[in-house]
Amino acid sequence: MAPEKIDAKSLSVINGNGHPAYVCAVLAGGKGSRLGGIDKSQLKAGEQTFLERITEELKRLGTPCYLSAAAYPHVSGGGLEVITDYPLNVNASGGQIGPLGGMLSCLEETGADCIFFVPCDMPGFRAEMASLLAAGAEDDSWDCLLWQTRDGRIHPACGFYMKRCIPAMKEAIKAGNYRLRDLCSLLKCRIVRTAEMHIPDCWFRNINDEASFKAYTEARQKHVIFAVSGKKNTGKTTLLEKLVEELSARGIRTAVIKHDGHDFEPDVPGTDSWRLKKAGAYGTVIFSGERYCVVKDQRDMKTEDFLLFFPEADLILLEGHKSTPWRKLELLRKEVSALPVCDPDTVVVYAADWIEAGNTGVINGRPVISRDDTEKMLEIIISEMDKENF
């Protein structure tokens, strides 16, 4: 199922003149010498190439998209209009000068007031990396708007650049300095931190050599799993609802697996599938063009048996599972369960109703935060995601 579109109004902070507030451009990059000279945009992320994956995300933004062909002037744009580097935006020997040349060519060719750029070797890219970046802009007084990950690194090839950057870009090229980081030091640059907007740093991973491609491929084979545990009536479902809402708003594809210690009614009484199940069918499937639901009688199922149902998930949250080895947040509620019940070696953090927001405590050598401190919970969960992906 294709990801949902993002409301373009969330980006109106950039321009309100009735035209597209911005356009997008994928930077095809150089000749991929560290990967044997291959076109990195054609590397595969599952069944899709990097370019196809990034293009799918960009189209969610509902704005015109281009491909800066750079070292691949005859490449098919995969549905994107291709922009080749202008003759002046190459080096003395006629070769490309890197992303700076592509960016300048795109700003000159499109005539757009602002362009959001993303490199083709960033397969973890999500459309929310554009929308949330714009949301952190505050105003449009900047020349470029960029992300800074938790390690302090600024990502100059993934961000918004205004048309007014053109003179500085041309001066840098004339001086033979093609480094984007040096260019940004000459511009009015607004920085938005991933920690402030609660998005994973692993989405910014660049695949530029065999080792990084192997690490990325291996990470895609693993599931990032985190449990919300605790005794009955500690508020696990309520907290999960809040976390799923916040994570999904940031583009983090989240699935939930709940373990029920008792048998449960697997369908809505009175529906066709419920009637067929009651008539004796051991399994039923109901589906539409958007979703499906399967009910099947089968004993001795384990959590691991359901992980493959969610191959697209960035994160699988478990409800319950207090006796499992999965990393977890344990909920503590004074009236129900003031003492932990989970193995402390599996607990990353406790969340208690007697801790005020902004304060912390310690139990079993683990931090205790307020059960209302969603900001800290998001950062803890995203940290677990990044650990699995780096």
CB 347 within 8 A of CB 328: yes
Q: Tell me how far apart the alpha carbons of residues 281 and 190 are, in angstroms, rounded to a whole number.
A: 60
- The two counts, helices (H) then strands (E), for the chain are 10, 18
Residue 370 has pLDDT above 50, yes or no: yes
Residue 260 — pLDDT band, cuts 50, 70, 90? low
pLDDT exceeds cutoff 50 at 1: no
Global pTM reads 0.87
Percent of the chain at pLDDT exceeding 90: 54
Domain with CATH 3.90.550.10 in the chain: 8-213
Instruction: Give the CA distances from residue 207 to residues 69, 121, 133, 243, 334, in Å, rounded to whole numbers and listed in that order.
Output: 18, 5, 22, 30, 48
**Smallest Cα–Cα separation from 239: which of 45, 60, 376, 67?**
376
- pLDDT in the model for residue 372: 94
Lookup: tokens for 17:
């003149």
Pick one of 3.40.50.970, 3.40.50.2300, 3.20.10.10, 3.40.50.300 as the CATH number of 225-389: 3.40.50.300
Round the average pLDDT of the chain to a whole number and report it.
86
Query: What is the rounded CA–CA span in Å between residue 272 and residue 266?
Result: 13
pLDDT average, residue stretch 232-244: 93
For the chain, where do the domains classified as CATH 3.40.50.300 start and end? 225-389
17-65 confidence digits (pLDDT tens): 566 789 999 998 766 666 666 778 888 888 889 999 999 999 999 999 9
Mean pLDDT to the nearest integer, 158-167:
96
Mean pLDDT check: name the lowest of 88-97, 108-117, 338-347.
88-97
In the chain, the N- to C-terminal Cα span, in Å, equals 27
Using alpha carbons, select from 83, 79, 45, 91 the residue that is nearest to residue 67. Answer: 83
Mean pLDDT of the 262-279 span: 71
User: What CATH number was assigned to the domain covering residues 8-213?
Assistant: 3.90.550.10
Contact partners, residue 328, CB within 8 Å, separation at least 6: 226, 227, 228, 229, 318, 321, 322, 342, 346, 347, 348
